[in-house]
Amino acid sequence: MSDVYYFRTLPASGPQSYPKRIAIVGDLGLTYNTTCTINHMSSNEPDLVLLVGDVTYANLYLTNGTGSDCYSCSFSKTPIHETYQPRWDYWGRFMQNLVSKVPIMVVEGNHEIEAQAGNQTFVAYSSRFAFPSEESGSLSSFYYSFNAGGIHFIMLGAYISYDKSGHQYKWLEKDLANVDRSVTPWLVATWHPPWYSSYSSHYREAECMRVEMEALLYSYGVDIVFNGHVHAYERSNRVFNYTLDPCGPVHITIGDGGNLEKMSITHADEPGNCPEPSSTPDPYMGGFCATNFTSGPAAGKFCWDRQPDYSAFRESSFGHGILEVKNETWALWTWHRNQDSNNKVGDQIYIVRQPDKCPFHGMPQPKPLLASS
C-alpha cells in the first residue's frame, strides 16, 4: 500500500471564488528541462495544474530491446512496435511529489495517440487520469469541462472528430449554453495544437478545427485559450478569424515544458521559413483547410511577411505559466522562463473582461425601456 496523501480541493463555484494560482504547462515529457520546469513551477505553489497535452512521450520509446533514448528517432525505418508503457510509470513517479498534493487536469496531445495492438489508441492516457466526462455530459474522456471557482474550463479533443455534425461539437454547444456567467464569469478553453501560432513548426496545422469551432467559442465569449504542441511560448492579442478583435480570446501557446524533441525556433514570417502549404495538414486532424489569406496584411499569401498582428509576444525558451484570476473582471497571466530566478518574469499581462462591451450568448440582456405616453 502507498502512503496516504492529501490535497486541497478546488473552491466552490462563484464569481468571487478562485484558486489562488493555476499553473499551465504543456509538452512535458521526462527530460532535464522537464525537471527544471516542474521544480520551478512547484516553487510557485499552484492550487491547480493544467497540462495541455503531450504528457510522457512514451510513444517514442518502443519495445525493441535497445537502449536508445528515442528509438523511433534513431531507427525511423524500423516497423513500429508497441510503445514502451513503463515510461508512463517513470513519469508518474517523477510527478508524484507534485500531483499527490495538487489536482491536475489533462487534455490529450498527439503523443498520447500511441497506436498499439488491435488498433487501440489513447489507452494509457484514458486509463491513467480521471476525467469528469460523465459529470459534464460528455460521452468521452477526450473532451469534458469542469469548474474551478468562478472559472469554467472546457477541455477539447483535437485528434477526434470536431465536425459540426459530430458528438464533440454538439456537446460543446450544449456545454456552452449551460454556462451561467453570473456564477462562473470566466470561460477558458484548452486543446493541444494552437490555432494561432507564428512558428513554422506546426504552422496552421489545426486550421480545419479552427474553421469548425472558432465562431462557436467566440459567440459565447471565451476569454482565454491555452494550447501546447509548438515547443515555444507565444501570447496573442485578442483575435478572431486572424483579425484583431477586442471581444476575441487571448490565445496562449505554452508547449515549452520540456519535451523530448527540439525547441521550436524559426518563425513562418521569416524569409525562407514559410512551410509549403501541402505539408501543413496533420494526418490525425482531417483534411487541408489552410489556404492563402484573402484579406488583411497577408492577403494573397500563406504566411505573413512580418510578425503577425495577432502575435503579441513570442520566445523560444522552456518554462511554465501561472494564471491568477482576481475577480470576475481581471486576471494576471505570468510566464516564467526556466533559466530565470523565481521572482523574475518573462512575460506578464493583465487580461480584462469587458462583458458590457462584448455581449455573448447566455448573457442577461437589459430589459427594454417602456415608452411613456
Condensed to tens digits (0 to 9), the pLDDT of residues 155-194 reads: 999 999 999 999 999 999 999 999 999 999 999 999 999 9
- Whether residue 319 is contained in a domain is answered as yes
Question: Phi and psi of 106, rounded to 5°?
Answer: -130, 145
Is the model's pLDDT at 75 over the cut of 80? no
> Would you state the pLDDT for residue 286?
78
Torsion sign (Cα): 134, 159, 252, 352: negative
| C-alpha–C-alpha distance, residues 212 and 196, integer Å | 15
3-state SS, the chain, equals CCCCCCCCCCCCCCCCCCCCCEEEECCCCCCHHHHHHHHHHHHCCCCEEEECCCCCCHHHCECCCCCCCCHHHHCCCCCCCCECCHHHHHHHHHHHHHHCCCCEEECCCHHHCCCEHHHECCHHHHHHCCCCCHHHCCCCCCCEEEEECCEEEEECCCCCCCCCCCHHHHHHHHHHHCCCCCCCCEEEEECCCCCCCCECCCCCCCHHHHHHHHHHHHHCCCCEEEECCCCCEEEECCEECCEECCCCCEEEEECCCCCCCCCCCCECCCCCCCCCHHHCCCCCCCCCCCCCCCCCCCCCCCCCCCCCCCEEEEECCCEEEEEEECCCCEEEEEEEECCCCCCCCCEEEEEECCCCCCCCCCCCCCCCCCCCC
Number of domains in the chain: 1
Is the model's pLDDT at 334 over the cut of 90? yes
Q: What is the mean pLDDT of residues 306-315?
A: 98
| C-alpha–C-alpha distance, residues 171 and 160, integer Å | 13
> So which residues are the catalytic ones?
202
Strands 151-155 and 186-190: parallel
- Whether residue 363 is contained in a domain is answered as no
pTM: 0.92
Residue of higher predicted confidence among 80 and 128: 128
> Would you state the pLDDT for residue 372?
36
Is the model's pLDDT at 368 over the cut of 60? no
> What does the pLDDT look like over 40-49, one tens digit per residue?
999 999 999 9
- Whether residue 249 is contained in a domain is answered as yes
Domain that residue 251 falls in: 22-352
Residue 264 sits in a domain whose CATH number is 3.60.21.10
Q: What is the mean pLDDT of residues 85-93?
A: 92
> Would you state the pLDDT for residue 65?
47
Low-confidence winner among 65-79, 177-191, 212-226, 327-341 (lowest mean pLDDT): 65-79
Confidence of residue 237 (pLDDT cuts 50, 70, 90): very high
Is the model's pLDDT at 66 over the cut of 60? no
Is the model's pLDDT at 153 over the cut of 50? yes
- Whether residue 247 is contained in a domain is answered as yes
- Whether residue 281 is contained in a domain is answered as yes
> What does the pLDDT look like over 11-50, one tens digit per residue?
999 999 999 999 999 999 999 999 999 999 999 999 999 9
Q: Is 101 exposed, middle or buried (0-12, 13-18, 19+ CB in 10 A)?
A: middle
> Would you state the pLDDT for residue 59?
87
> Would you state the pLDDT for residue 7?
87
| C-alpha–C-alpha distance, residues 364 and 356, integer Å | 11
The pLDDT mean for the chain works out to 91
Confidence of residue 320 (pLDDT cuts 50, 70, 90): very high
Low-confidence winner among 31-35, 116-120, 210-214, 267-271 (lowest mean pLDDT): 116-120
Task: Please report, rounded to a whole number, the percentage of residues in the chain having pLDDT higher than 70.
Answer: 91
Confidence of residue 362 (pLDDT cuts 50, 70, 90): low
> Would you state the pLDDT for residue 160?
94
Q: What is the mean pLDDT of residues 317-323?
A: 98
- Whether residue 358 is contained in a domain is answered as no
Which residue is it, cell 505559466? 321
| C-alpha–C-alpha distance, residues 76 and 320, integer Å | 31
Is the model's pLDDT at 151 over the cut of 60? yes
> Would you state the pLDDT for residue 68?
58
Q: What is the mean pLDDT of residues 88-105?
A: 95
